[in-house]
Amino acid sequence: MTHQPLSPHAPVTVSISFVHGLLSGLPQGAPLAAAALRHAGIAEELLQYSGARVTAEQYAALFRSLCENLDDECIGFLSRPFKRGSYALMAQSSLTAQDFQHAILRMANTFGILQDDMTLELVSERNMAGVALHFTNPLIGRRRFLHEFMLRSLYRLFDWLVGGDLSIARFDFAFTSPEDVESYSEFFTGPMVFSSAVSAIWFDKAQLQALVRVDETALLGFLTDPQTRFIVPRRFKNGVADKVLSHLHQSRPAWPDLEATAAALCMSAASLQRHLAKEGTTFQAIKDRLRRDMAITYLNTTTMSLSELADRLGFSESAGFQRAFKAWTGSAPGSYRRGEK
């Protein structure tokens, strides 16, 4: 590994709970799981730590490896493999639909032809419309990650079809709130309701009349690397929190404080704190999240020493960085380096 620079965009990492999710469709101890983890550069040791995280690139690589080896885009969760190309076929079937409603119906029909265990149903509730998952195979329906996976992939596809303008009213999940519920907000950009009768995506009913804004050329671009489009978290740049994150990332290695960041965003420190509180976060939480994600990315992509990494992240000494890293992830920085090839 070399001292390659980070992307100009803030790095993205994924909770280890979602790595467990990807692997949960395989038999316990399956050799394929260990091989896929090695291929993605993910140390098996990290699976022991509930706070551990992996880079978005590692997560996508793990999914691709499982997908290719199983020839199954639902990676072992359905009784009949969802063969590679099935997702593309669903997307293609919607391109000539006159509007979003007819696109959904076409995709639901295609999905039903390709597998036997579940159906997609267009539903309505007062001024909202939604797409619900119905399981014809109750055993398959007990697999929590399949619910997450389907809602995530459908949302990304629906949003793309209408030009990125799909506004989500809420996500329903037909299981109880999980222990790692906080990490769900990284994937599901809207209110979440657990213990629902069915798992579903809900949006304003008027959006059913939205025109399908894509064509075959756009589809080729969308499918270039579909895994990173619907597997990896999507960062939105509309809120104050994202502006703070962007400013901190672009200001490295200065690491401006609250007052300097507020001034850069043309507001007072108190006003910035109020805005962030409304979005459910704080300046320090955003700063720590960025430093955590940068550290994980550097540990996985460079041979940079811990003392140099500590300096880049604004720590006065290596020991302070290592304590903070263990508080953020539950594991020591060295655990990430052991996954190198």
| Among candidate residues 230, 257, 281, the one where a domain is terminated | 230
- What does the alpha-carbon distance between residue 129 and residue 139 come to, in Å, rounded to a whole number? 27
The answer as to whether 320 is a domain residue is: yes
Same domain, 180 and 308: no
Q: Are residues 226 and 246 in the same domain?
A: no
The per-residue pLDDT for 186 is 83
pLDDT at 238: 66
Q: In this predicted structure, what is the pLDDT of residue 8?
A: 65
Do residue 279 and residue 310 come from a single domain?
Answer: yes
User: What secondary structure does DSSP assign to 188-243, as a single string?
Assistant: --S-EE-S-SSEEEEEEGGGGGPPP---HHHHHHHTSSHHHHHTS------SHHHH
- Residue ranges making up the domain that contains 194: 83-230
Same-domain pairing of 249 and 194? no
Structural domain contains residue 296: yes
Q: Do 225 and 273 fall within a single domain?
A: no
Residue 192 tokens read as 């979440």
- Please report whether residue 162 resides in a domain: yes
Are residues 149 and 169 part of one domain?
yes
216 and 90, same structural domain? Answer: yes
Model pTM above 0.95: no
Which of 172, 206, 230 is the last residue before a domain boundary?
230
Whether residue 46 lies inside any domain: the answer is no
Across the strands, what pairs with 200?
132, 172
Same domain, residue pair 217 and 248: no
- 59 part of a folded domain: no
Residues 143, 192 within the same domain = yes
Whether residue 266 sits in one domain with residue 291: yes
Is residue 188 assigned to a domain?
Answer: yes
- Residue ending a domain, choose from 207, 230, 253: 230
- The answer as to whether 160 is a domain residue is yes
Q: Which residues pair with 120 in a beta bridge?
A: 133
In a shared domain, residues 218 and 247: no
Residue 36 in any domain: the answer is no
Helix residue ranges per DSSP H, the chain: 16-23, 31-40, 56-70, 86-93, 100-114, 138-141, 144-161, 216-222, 226-230, 240-251, 258-264, 269-278, 283-301, 306-312, 318-329, 334-337
The reported pLDDT for the residue numbered 41 is 92
**CA angle at residue 235 from 251 to 66, to 5 degrees?**
120
CATH of the domain at 300: 1.10.10.60
Number of domains in the chain: 2
pLDDT at 234: 67
Task: Check whether residue 207 and residue 159 sit in a common domain.
Answer: yes
pLDDT by 10-residue block (mean), the chain, 341 residues: 58 92 86 93 91 92 94 94 94 94 97 95 95 95 93 92 90 93 85 96 96 91 79 72 93 93 96 93 94 94 92 93 94 77 39
**pLDDT the model gives residue 2:** 46
DSSP three-state, residue 130: strand
How many whole angstroms separate alpha carbon 141 and alpha carbon 110? 20
Q: In this structure, what token pair is assigned to residue 169?
A: 């009213």
Q: Strand, coil or helix: what is 80? A: coil
CB 166 within 8 A of CB 159: yes
Q: How far apart are CA 332 and CA 7, in angstroms?
A: 24
